[in-house]
Amino acid sequence: MDDVIAVNAPIRVAQLGCGTVGSHVARLLLSGTDLSAHIGHPLQVTGIAVRHLDKARPGIDPALLTTDSESLVDDADVVVEVIGGIEPARTLILRAMAHGASIVTANKALLAAHGPELYASAEANGVDLYFEAAVAGAIPIIRPLRESLVGDEILCVKGIVNGTTNFILDEMTNSGMSFADALGLAQELGFAEPDPTADVEGFDAAAKASLLASLGFRTQILGDEVSRDGITSVTTDDIEAANRLGYVIKLLACAKPLDADPTQISVWVRPTMVPLSHPLANVHGGNNAIFVESRNAGRLMFMGPGAGGAPTASAVLGDLVTVARNRVAGVHLPPTMDSGSRRAASHGDAMTSAYIALTVADSPGVLARIASVFAAHQVSISTVHQGPSDARSAVLDITTHCSRWGDVQDSVAELKTLTDVVHGDIRVYAVEGN
Protein backbone atom coordinates (compact mmCIF):
# COMPACT_ATOMS: atom_id res chain seq x y z
CA MET A 1 0.00 0.00 0.00
CA ASP A 2 1.58 3.27 -0.99
CA ASP A 3 -0.61 5.42 1.25
CA VAL A 4 -0.22 5.21 5.00
CA ILE A 5 -2.55 7.09 7.32
CA ALA A 6 -0.71 9.63 9.46
CA VAL A 7 -1.45 9.42 13.17
CA ASN A 8 -3.93 12.27 13.34
CA ALA A 9 -4.98 12.69 9.73
CA PRO A 10 -8.56 11.64 9.13
CA ILE A 11 -9.43 8.80 6.78
CA ARG A 12 -10.56 10.49 3.57
CA VAL A 13 -13.71 8.92 2.18
CA ALA A 14 -14.86 9.73 -1.36
CA GLN A 15 -18.36 8.76 -2.39
CA LEU A 16 -19.24 8.07 -6.02
CA GLY A 17 -22.93 8.39 -6.83
CA CYS A 18 -25.84 9.85 -4.94
CA GLY A 19 -28.97 7.99 -6.10
CA THR A 20 -31.34 5.93 -3.95
CA VAL A 21 -28.57 4.06 -2.14
CA GLY A 22 -26.04 6.87 -2.33
CA SER A 23 -28.30 9.47 -0.72
CA HIS A 24 -28.95 7.09 2.19
CA VAL A 25 -25.24 6.45 2.57
CA ALA A 26 -24.46 10.16 2.43
CA ARG A 27 -27.05 11.11 5.02
CA LEU A 28 -25.84 8.39 7.41
CA LEU A 29 -22.21 9.34 6.83
CA LEU A 30 -22.83 13.04 7.34
CA SER A 31 -25.22 12.87 10.28
CA GLY A 32 -25.64 11.03 13.54
CA THR A 33 -23.89 7.72 13.04
CA ASP A 34 -20.53 8.03 14.76
CA LEU A 35 -18.36 5.76 12.69
CA SER A 36 -15.14 7.33 13.96
CA ALA A 37 -15.73 5.80 17.41
CA HIS A 38 -15.98 2.34 15.87
CA ILE A 39 -12.92 2.91 13.73
CA GLY A 40 -10.90 4.50 16.51
CA HIS A 41 -9.85 7.19 14.07
CA PRO A 42 -11.51 10.28 12.56
CA LEU A 43 -13.25 9.94 9.20
CA GLN A 44 -13.79 12.72 6.69
CA VAL A 45 -16.10 12.67 3.69
CA THR A 46 -14.08 14.61 1.13
CA GLY A 47 -16.76 14.73 -1.54
CA ILE A 48 -19.62 13.09 -3.37
CA ALA A 49 -19.32 12.74 -7.14
CA VAL A 50 -22.58 13.28 -9.02
CA ARG A 51 -23.59 13.84 -12.63
CA HIS A 52 -25.81 16.85 -12.01
CA LEU A 53 -24.93 19.37 -9.30
CA ASP A 54 -28.30 21.12 -9.34
CA LYS A 55 -30.57 18.23 -8.28
CA ALA A 56 -32.27 18.71 -4.90
CA ARG A 57 -30.60 16.50 -2.26
CA PRO A 58 -32.10 17.22 1.15
CA GLY A 59 -29.75 16.73 4.09
CA ILE A 60 -26.62 16.72 1.95
CA ASP A 61 -24.25 19.70 2.04
CA PRO A 62 -24.06 20.98 -1.59
CA ALA A 63 -20.45 22.01 -0.98
CA LEU A 64 -19.52 18.32 -0.92
CA LEU A 65 -20.91 17.67 -4.39
CA THR A 66 -18.60 17.56 -7.37
CA THR A 67 -18.66 16.40 -10.96
CA ASP A 68 -14.90 15.85 -10.93
CA SER A 69 -14.92 12.23 -9.83
CA GLU A 70 -11.34 11.64 -10.97
CA SER A 71 -9.77 14.24 -8.70
CA LEU A 72 -12.01 12.99 -5.90
CA VAL A 73 -10.82 9.37 -6.09
CA ASP A 74 -7.19 10.41 -6.56
CA ASP A 75 -7.20 11.98 -3.11
CA ALA A 76 -9.11 9.30 -1.14
CA ASP A 77 -8.18 6.58 1.34
CA VAL A 78 -11.48 4.80 0.84
CA VAL A 79 -13.84 5.09 -2.13
CA VAL A 80 -17.51 4.19 -1.67
CA GLU A 81 -18.92 3.34 -5.11
CA VAL A 82 -22.70 3.48 -5.32
CA ILE A 83 -23.12 4.59 -8.94
CA GLY A 84 -24.05 1.12 -10.16
CA GLY A 85 -23.59 -0.20 -13.71
CA ILE A 86 -20.33 -0.91 -15.49
CA GLU A 87 -18.96 2.48 -16.56
CA PRO A 88 -17.77 4.85 -15.23
CA ALA A 89 -17.78 2.74 -12.03
CA ARG A 90 -15.18 0.27 -13.32
CA THR A 91 -12.69 2.86 -14.53
CA LEU A 92 -13.03 4.95 -11.38
CA ILE A 93 -12.58 1.95 -9.06
CA LEU A 94 -9.48 0.78 -10.94
CA ARG A 95 -8.10 4.31 -10.84
CA ALA A 96 -8.80 4.60 -7.11
CA MET A 97 -7.10 1.29 -6.35
CA ALA A 98 -4.09 2.26 -8.46
CA HIS A 99 -3.87 5.37 -6.26
CA GLY A 100 -3.92 3.18 -3.16
CA ALA A 101 -7.53 3.58 -2.06
CA SER A 102 -9.62 0.74 -0.67
CA ILE A 103 -13.08 0.19 -2.13
CA VAL A 104 -16.55 -0.41 -0.74
CA THR A 105 -19.10 -1.12 -3.45
CA ALA A 106 -22.69 -2.31 -3.82
CA ASN A 107 -22.21 -2.98 -7.52
CA LYS A 108 -23.12 -6.63 -8.30
CA ALA A 109 -23.36 -6.04 -12.06
CA LEU A 110 -19.79 -4.72 -12.18
CA LEU A 111 -18.38 -7.50 -9.98
CA ALA A 112 -20.23 -10.17 -11.95
CA ALA A 113 -18.82 -8.82 -15.23
CA HIS A 114 -15.33 -7.65 -14.20
CA GLY A 115 -14.67 -9.27 -10.81
CA PRO A 116 -11.39 -10.98 -11.76
CA GLU A 117 -9.90 -7.69 -13.03
CA LEU A 118 -11.01 -5.86 -9.88
CA TYR A 119 -9.87 -8.56 -7.42
CA ALA A 120 -6.49 -8.71 -9.16
CA SER A 121 -6.11 -4.95 -8.98
CA ALA A 122 -7.02 -4.91 -5.27
CA GLU A 123 -4.42 -7.56 -4.58
CA ALA A 124 -1.76 -5.90 -6.74
CA ASN A 125 -2.32 -2.57 -5.02
CA GLY A 126 -2.60 -4.04 -1.51
CA VAL A 127 -6.04 -2.58 -0.89
CA ASP A 128 -9.42 -3.91 0.26
CA LEU A 129 -12.41 -4.55 -2.00
CA TYR A 130 -15.54 -5.09 0.10
CA PHE A 131 -19.02 -5.66 -1.29
CA GLU A 132 -21.47 -6.90 1.35
CA ALA A 133 -24.15 -4.63 -0.12
CA ALA A 134 -23.88 -6.28 -3.56
CA VAL A 135 -25.84 -9.38 -2.53
CA ALA A 136 -29.07 -9.47 -0.53
CA GLY A 137 -29.10 -5.92 0.85
CA ALA A 138 -28.04 -5.76 4.47
CA ILE A 139 -28.19 -9.52 5.06
CA PRO A 140 -24.65 -10.39 6.09
CA ILE A 141 -23.75 -13.10 3.60
CA ILE A 142 -20.49 -12.00 1.99
CA ARG A 143 -18.67 -11.72 5.31
CA PRO A 144 -19.91 -15.11 6.59
CA LEU A 145 -18.80 -16.77 3.35
CA ARG A 146 -15.48 -14.93 3.22
CA GLU A 147 -14.62 -15.10 6.92
CA SER A 148 -16.91 -17.06 9.28
CA LEU A 149 -17.03 -20.24 7.17
CA VAL A 150 -13.49 -20.09 5.83
CA GLY A 151 -12.46 -23.08 7.99
CA ASP A 152 -15.37 -25.16 6.75
CA GLU A 153 -16.21 -26.80 3.42
CA ILE A 154 -19.22 -25.29 1.69
CA LEU A 155 -21.37 -27.85 -0.11
CA CYS A 156 -24.12 -25.66 -1.57
CA VAL A 157 -25.31 -22.04 -1.60
CA LYS A 158 -28.93 -21.56 -2.57
CA GLY A 159 -31.62 -18.96 -2.17
CA ILE A 160 -33.91 -16.17 -3.19
CA VAL A 161 -31.71 -13.22 -4.13
CA ASN A 162 -34.05 -10.97 -6.08
CA GLY A 163 -36.84 -9.23 -4.21
CA THR A 164 -38.65 -7.89 -7.28
CA THR A 165 -39.29 -11.32 -8.78
CA ASN A 166 -40.17 -12.72 -5.36
CA PHE A 167 -42.77 -10.00 -4.95
CA ILE A 168 -44.20 -10.71 -8.42
CA LEU A 169 -44.36 -14.49 -7.90
CA ASP A 170 -45.90 -13.92 -4.45
CA GLU A 171 -48.65 -11.76 -5.98
CA MET A 172 -49.28 -14.31 -8.73
CA THR A 173 -49.51 -17.06 -6.10
CA ASN A 174 -51.65 -15.25 -3.57
CA SER A 175 -54.06 -13.34 -5.77
CA GLY A 176 -53.95 -15.29 -9.02
CA MET A 177 -52.67 -12.24 -10.96
CA SER A 178 -51.02 -12.74 -14.32
CA PHE A 179 -47.32 -12.03 -14.64
CA ALA A 180 -48.06 -8.81 -16.55
CA ASP A 181 -50.48 -7.54 -13.89
CA ALA A 182 -48.16 -8.44 -11.01
CA LEU A 183 -45.27 -6.72 -12.78
CA GLY A 184 -47.44 -3.64 -13.27
CA LEU A 185 -48.29 -3.61 -9.57
CA ALA A 186 -44.62 -3.99 -8.64
CA GLN A 187 -43.76 -1.05 -10.89
CA GLU A 188 -46.58 1.01 -9.40
CA LEU A 189 -45.29 0.33 -5.88
CA GLY A 190 -41.68 1.04 -6.83
CA PHE A 191 -40.55 -2.58 -6.39
CA ALA A 192 -39.71 -2.90 -10.09
CA GLU A 193 -37.87 -0.56 -12.46
CA PRO A 194 -39.59 1.00 -15.49
CA ASP A 195 -37.35 -1.35 -17.53
CA PRO A 196 -37.68 -4.54 -15.48
CA THR A 197 -35.44 -6.71 -17.69
CA ALA A 198 -32.54 -7.10 -15.24
CA ASP A 199 -34.90 -8.43 -12.58
CA VAL A 200 -37.52 -10.45 -14.46
CA GLU A 201 -35.08 -12.05 -16.91
CA GLY A 202 -32.88 -13.15 -13.98
CA PHE A 203 -29.79 -11.09 -14.85
CA ASP A 204 -29.65 -9.48 -11.39
CA ALA A 205 -30.06 -12.84 -9.66
CA ALA A 206 -27.44 -14.39 -11.96
CA ALA A 207 -24.94 -11.65 -11.05
CA LYS A 208 -25.52 -12.34 -7.35
CA ALA A 209 -25.34 -16.10 -7.93
CA SER A 210 -21.96 -15.66 -9.58
CA LEU A 211 -20.68 -13.76 -6.53
CA LEU A 212 -22.05 -16.35 -4.09
CA ALA A 213 -20.55 -19.16 -6.16
CA SER A 214 -17.18 -17.42 -6.40
CA LEU A 215 -17.03 -16.81 -2.63
CA GLY A 216 -18.49 -20.15 -1.57
CA PHE A 217 -16.22 -22.18 -3.82
CA ARG A 218 -13.20 -19.87 -3.88
CA THR A 219 -13.11 -19.41 -7.59
CA GLN A 220 -14.08 -16.76 -10.11
CA ILE A 221 -17.32 -17.31 -11.96
CA LEU A 222 -18.79 -14.54 -14.08
CA GLY A 223 -22.45 -13.58 -14.27
CA ASP A 224 -22.74 -14.66 -17.88
CA GLU A 225 -21.48 -18.14 -17.00
CA VAL A 226 -24.59 -18.67 -14.89
CA SER A 227 -27.36 -20.81 -16.39
CA ARG A 228 -30.29 -18.41 -16.32
CA ASP A 229 -34.05 -18.47 -16.79
CA GLY A 230 -36.25 -15.55 -15.78
CA ILE A 231 -39.87 -15.56 -14.69
CA THR A 232 -41.52 -13.93 -17.71
CA SER A 233 -42.97 -17.22 -18.97
CA VAL A 234 -44.32 -18.40 -15.61
CA THR A 235 -48.10 -18.67 -15.88
CA THR A 236 -50.85 -18.76 -13.28
CA ASP A 237 -51.64 -22.26 -14.58
CA ASP A 238 -48.10 -23.34 -13.66
CA ILE A 239 -48.48 -21.81 -10.22
CA GLU A 240 -51.82 -23.56 -9.68
CA ALA A 241 -50.39 -26.87 -10.84
CA ALA A 242 -47.46 -26.42 -8.45
CA ASN A 243 -49.82 -25.65 -5.57
CA ARG A 244 -51.91 -28.75 -6.32
CA LEU A 245 -48.75 -30.82 -5.92
CA GLY A 246 -47.67 -29.06 -2.69
CA TYR A 247 -45.18 -26.61 -4.17
CA VAL A 248 -44.76 -22.89 -4.68
CA ILE A 249 -42.78 -21.39 -7.58
CA LYS A 250 -39.78 -19.26 -6.53
CA LEU A 251 -36.91 -17.83 -8.57
CA LEU A 252 -34.03 -19.75 -6.97
CA ALA A 253 -30.33 -19.21 -7.39
CA CYS A 254 -28.14 -22.21 -6.69
CA ALA A 255 -24.42 -22.96 -6.73
CA LYS A 256 -22.92 -26.35 -5.99
CA PRO A 257 -20.10 -28.54 -7.24
CA LEU A 258 -20.96 -31.46 -9.50
CA ASP A 259 -20.86 -34.78 -7.64
CA ALA A 260 -19.13 -36.30 -10.64
CA ASP A 261 -16.39 -33.64 -10.69
CA PRO A 262 -16.24 -31.19 -7.76
CA THR A 263 -13.90 -28.87 -9.66
CA GLN A 264 -16.93 -27.95 -11.80
CA ILE A 265 -19.40 -25.62 -10.08
CA SER A 266 -22.96 -25.75 -11.32
CA VAL A 267 -24.49 -22.27 -11.01
CA TRP A 268 -28.02 -21.51 -12.11
CA VAL A 269 -30.97 -19.19 -11.63
CA ARG A 270 -34.38 -20.45 -12.58
CA PRO A 271 -38.02 -20.58 -11.50
CA THR A 272 -38.15 -23.62 -9.25
CA MET A 273 -40.90 -25.57 -7.52
CA VAL A 274 -40.18 -25.38 -3.79
CA PRO A 275 -42.06 -27.66 -1.34
CA LEU A 276 -44.51 -25.67 0.80
CA SER A 277 -42.81 -27.05 3.93
CA HIS A 278 -39.40 -25.68 2.87
CA PRO A 279 -38.27 -22.49 4.68
CA LEU A 280 -37.67 -20.82 1.30
CA ALA A 281 -41.37 -21.27 0.47
CA ASN A 282 -42.18 -18.89 3.31
CA VAL A 283 -39.97 -16.04 2.14
CA HIS A 284 -42.45 -13.40 1.05
CA GLY A 285 -42.60 -10.03 -0.69
CA GLY A 286 -39.30 -8.27 -1.25
CA ASN A 287 -37.37 -10.43 1.21
CA ASN A 288 -34.29 -12.40 0.29
CA ALA A 289 -33.10 -15.60 1.95
CA ILE A 290 -29.93 -17.58 1.43
CA PHE A 291 -29.18 -21.13 2.53
CA VAL A 292 -25.60 -22.17 3.01
CA GLU A 293 -24.96 -25.86 3.51
CA SER A 294 -21.51 -26.77 4.74
CA ARG A 295 -19.68 -29.90 5.89
CA ASN A 296 -19.46 -28.95 9.57
CA ALA A 297 -21.75 -26.00 10.21
CA GLY A 298 -24.74 -27.77 8.66
CA ARG A 299 -27.57 -25.80 7.03
CA LEU A 300 -27.54 -22.10 7.81
CA MET A 301 -30.21 -19.69 6.63
CA PHE A 302 -29.91 -15.91 6.35
CA MET A 303 -33.05 -13.86 5.71
CA GLY A 304 -34.02 -10.19 5.47
CA PRO A 305 -34.92 -7.31 3.17
CA GLY A 306 -33.08 -7.87 -0.07
CA ALA A 307 -32.82 -4.33 -1.34
CA GLY A 308 -33.74 -0.74 -0.66
CA GLY A 309 -31.73 2.36 0.11
CA ALA A 310 -31.54 2.03 3.90
CA PRO A 311 -30.61 -1.68 4.11
CA THR A 312 -28.02 -1.32 1.36
CA ALA A 313 -26.58 1.75 3.10
CA SER A 314 -26.33 -0.23 6.35
CA ALA A 315 -24.23 -2.87 4.61
CA VAL A 316 -22.05 -0.19 2.98
CA LEU A 317 -21.37 1.45 6.33
CA GLY A 318 -20.50 -1.88 7.99
CA ASP A 319 -17.95 -2.49 5.24
CA LEU A 320 -16.67 1.06 5.48
CA VAL A 321 -15.86 0.65 9.18
CA THR A 322 -13.88 -2.54 8.53
CA VAL A 323 -12.06 -1.14 5.52
CA ALA A 324 -11.22 2.07 7.42
CA ARG A 325 -9.90 0.04 10.39
CA ASN A 326 -7.77 -1.98 8.01
CA ARG A 327 -6.43 1.23 6.47
CA VAL A 328 -5.47 2.58 9.87
CA ALA A 329 -3.72 -0.71 10.67
CA GLY A 330 -2.11 -0.87 7.23
CA VAL A 331 -3.58 -4.28 6.39
CA HIS A 332 -6.12 -5.69 3.96
CA LEU A 333 -8.21 -8.85 3.73
CA PRO A 334 -6.37 -11.46 1.69
CA PRO A 335 -8.18 -12.65 -1.44
CA THR A 336 -10.68 -15.46 -0.87
CA MET A 337 -11.31 -16.08 -4.55
CA ASP A 338 -8.71 -17.30 -6.95
CA SER A 339 -8.67 -18.14 -10.60
CA GLY A 340 -7.59 -21.67 -9.70
CA SER A 341 -8.71 -25.01 -10.94
CA ARG A 342 -12.47 -24.70 -10.34
CA ARG A 343 -14.72 -23.45 -13.10
CA ALA A 344 -18.38 -23.13 -14.01
CA ALA A 345 -19.94 -26.42 -15.08
CA SER A 346 -21.65 -26.74 -18.43
CA HIS A 347 -25.31 -25.70 -18.02
CA GLY A 348 -26.63 -29.11 -19.02
CA ASP A 349 -24.61 -30.81 -16.29
CA ALA A 350 -26.58 -29.20 -13.45
CA MET A 351 -28.33 -31.90 -11.43
CA THR A 352 -31.91 -31.39 -10.26
CA SER A 353 -35.25 -33.09 -9.96
CA ALA A 354 -37.68 -31.76 -12.54
CA TYR A 355 -41.40 -31.32 -13.10
CA ILE A 356 -42.81 -31.74 -16.58
CA ALA A 357 -46.46 -31.07 -17.44
CA LEU A 358 -47.77 -32.15 -20.81
CA THR A 359 -51.10 -32.67 -22.50
CA VAL A 360 -51.32 -36.07 -24.15
CA ALA A 361 -53.78 -38.14 -26.15
CA ASP A 362 -55.83 -40.18 -23.70
CA SER A 363 -55.23 -43.55 -25.36
CA PRO A 364 -53.55 -46.85 -24.42
CA GLY A 365 -49.77 -47.03 -24.67
CA VAL A 366 -49.19 -43.28 -24.43
CA LEU A 367 -47.59 -43.34 -21.00
CA ALA A 368 -45.30 -46.15 -22.12
CA ARG A 369 -44.11 -44.12 -25.11
CA ILE A 370 -43.49 -41.05 -22.96
CA ALA A 371 -41.70 -43.06 -20.28
CA SER A 372 -39.48 -44.64 -22.90
CA VAL A 373 -38.36 -41.17 -24.07
CA PHE A 374 -37.24 -40.26 -20.55
CA ALA A 375 -35.57 -43.65 -20.12
CA ALA A 376 -33.65 -43.20 -23.38
CA HIS A 377 -32.20 -39.98 -21.94
CA GLN A 378 -31.34 -41.56 -18.55
CA VAL A 379 -34.04 -39.53 -16.79
CA SER A 380 -35.71 -41.58 -14.06
CA ILE A 381 -39.38 -40.82 -13.39
CA SER A 382 -40.39 -40.36 -9.74
CA THR A 383 -44.15 -39.72 -9.92
CA VAL A 384 -46.86 -39.40 -12.56
CA HIS A 385 -50.20 -37.75 -11.81
CA GLN A 386 -52.99 -37.49 -14.31
CA GLY A 387 -54.52 -34.04 -14.04
CA PRO A 388 -57.65 -32.57 -15.71
CA SER A 389 -58.70 -34.50 -18.80
CA ASP A 390 -61.42 -34.42 -21.42
CA ALA A 391 -62.63 -37.13 -23.77
CA ARG A 392 -59.58 -37.03 -26.01
CA SER A 393 -56.66 -35.75 -23.95
CA ALA A 394 -55.26 -35.76 -20.43
CA VAL A 395 -52.74 -33.61 -18.58
CA LEU A 396 -49.79 -35.50 -17.10
CA ASP A 397 -47.79 -34.06 -14.20
CA ILE A 398 -44.46 -35.89 -14.15
CA THR A 399 -41.70 -35.45 -11.59
CA THR A 400 -38.28 -36.97 -12.05
CA HIS A 401 -35.55 -38.13 -9.73
CA CYS A 402 -32.41 -36.02 -9.64
CA SER A 403 -31.19 -35.88 -13.24
CA ARG A 404 -28.89 -33.97 -15.56
CA TRP A 405 -30.77 -30.79 -16.56
CA GLY A 406 -29.50 -31.31 -20.10
CA ASP A 407 -31.02 -34.79 -20.20
CA VAL A 408 -34.35 -33.39 -19.02
CA GLN A 409 -34.21 -30.75 -21.77
CA ASP A 410 -33.30 -33.38 -24.37
CA SER A 411 -36.21 -35.54 -23.24
CA VAL A 412 -38.58 -32.60 -23.58
CA ALA A 413 -37.21 -31.77 -27.03
CA GLU A 414 -37.86 -35.32 -28.16
CA LEU A 415 -41.34 -35.35 -26.57
CA LYS A 416 -42.19 -32.28 -28.64
CA THR A 417 -41.58 -34.30 -31.79
CA LEU A 418 -44.24 -36.89 -30.81
CA THR A 419 -46.99 -34.77 -32.30
CA ASP A 420 -49.43 -37.66 -32.58
CA VAL A 421 -49.33 -38.11 -28.81
CA VAL A 422 -48.24 -34.83 -27.21
CA HIS A 423 -50.54 -31.86 -27.74
CA GLY A 424 -49.56 -28.25 -27.17
CA ASP A 425 -47.02 -26.76 -24.84
CA ILE A 426 -44.76 -28.71 -22.47
CA ARG A 427 -44.05 -26.97 -19.12
CA VAL A 428 -40.75 -27.73 -17.37
CA TYR A 429 -39.55 -26.63 -13.91
CA ALA A 430 -36.70 -27.57 -11.63
CA VAL A 431 -37.94 -29.04 -8.34
CA GLU A 432 -36.25 -28.37 -5.02
CA GLY A 433 -35.94 -31.17 -2.43
CA ASN A 434 -37.01 -30.79 1.18
Q: Which residues are catalytic?
A: 208
Backbone angles phi, psi at 101, to 5 degrees: -90, 145
- Beta strands 287-294 and 351-361 are unpaired
Judged by beta carbon, residue 85 or residue 298, the one nearer its own copies is 298
Window contacting its own copies (CB under 8 A); options: 264-272, 309-317, 413-421, 426-434: 309-317
Query: Per CB under 8 A, does 137 bind its own copies?
Result: yes
- Give the largest Cα separation in the chain, rounded: 86
Query: Positive or negative, the Cα torsion across 16, 77, 146, 348?
Result: positive
Query: Per CB under 8 A, does 144 bind its own copies?
Result: yes
DSSP label at 167? H
Query: Per CB under 8 A, does 313 bind its own copies?
Result: yes
Judged by beta carbon, residue 301 or residue 418, the one nearer its own copies is 301
Query: Per CB under 8 A, does 376 bind its own copies?
Result: no
DSSP 24-91: HHHHHHHSS--HHHHHTS-EEEEEEE-S-TTS--TTS-GGGEES-HHHHHHT-SEEEE---SSTTHHH
Query: Per CB under 8 A, does 388 bind its own copies?
Result: no
Query: Per CB under 8 A, does 316 bind its own copies?
Result: yes
Window contacting its own copies (CB under 8 A); options: 63-71, 136-144, 229-237, 254-262: 136-144
Q: x/- string (CB under 8 A) for its own copies, residues 323-342?
A: --x---xxx-xx-x------
Window contacting its own copies (CB under 8 A); options: 6-14, 178-186, 291-299, 387-395: 291-299
Query: Per CB under 8 A, does 364 bind its own copies?
Result: no
Which one of 14, 65, 93, 139 is in contact with its own copies (CB under 8 A)? 139
CB of 43 to its own copies, least distance (A): 11
Within 29-88, which residues bind its own copies (CB under 8 A)?
33, 35, 38-40
* Residues in binding contact with its own copies, number by CB under 8 A: 54
Query: Per CB under 8 A, does 221 bind its own copies?
Result: no
CA distance 192 to 184: 8
Judged by beta carbon, residue 327 or residue 427, the one nearer its own copies is 327
Which one of 95, 99, 143, 343 is in contact with its own copies (CB under 8 A)? 143
Window contacting its own copies (CB under 8 A); options: 267-275, 303-311, 368-376, 412-420: 303-311
Closest CA to 102 of 6, 212, 3: 3
- The set of residues, in sequence order, having a beta carbon less than 8 Å from that of 334 and lying 6+ positions away, is none
Query: Per CB under 8 A, does 408 bind its own copies?
Result: no
CA distance 174 to 228: 25
- The set of residues, in sequence order, having a beta carbon less than 8 Å from that of 251 and lying 6+ positions away, is 160, 162, 165, 166, 169, 202, 205, 230, 231, 269, 270, 271, 272
Q: x/- string (CB under 8 A) for its own copies, residues 194-213?
A: --------------------
Which one of 300, 351, 381, 402 is in contact with its own copies (CB under 8 A)? 300
Judged by beta carbon, residue 57 or residue 327, the one nearer its own copies is 327
Window contacting its own copies (CB under 8 A); options: 146-154, 174-182, 263-271, 415-423: 146-154
Find out whether 204 and 279 touch, Cβ atoms under 8 Å.
no
Task: Determine which helix (DSSP H) or strand (DSSP E) holds 173, and give its type and residue range.
Answer: helix 163-175
CA distance 310 to 306: 11
Query: Per CB under 8 A, does 1 bind its own copies?
Result: no
CB of 415 to its own copies, least distance (A): 38
Task: Determine which helix (DSSP H) or strand (DSSP E) holds 23, and give its type and residue range.
Answer: helix 20-30
Query: Per CB under 8 A, does 174 bind its own copies?
Result: no
Closest CA to 164 of 142, 190, 143: 190
Whether residue 58 has a cis bond before it, omega within 30° of 0? no
For the chain, how big is the Rg over CA atoms in Å?
A: 24
Question: Contact residues for its own copies (CB under 8 A)?
Answer: 24, 28, 33, 35, 38-40, 132, 137-140, 143-144, 147-153, 279, 282, 294-305, 308, 310-311, 313-318, 320-322, 325, 329-331, 333-334, 336
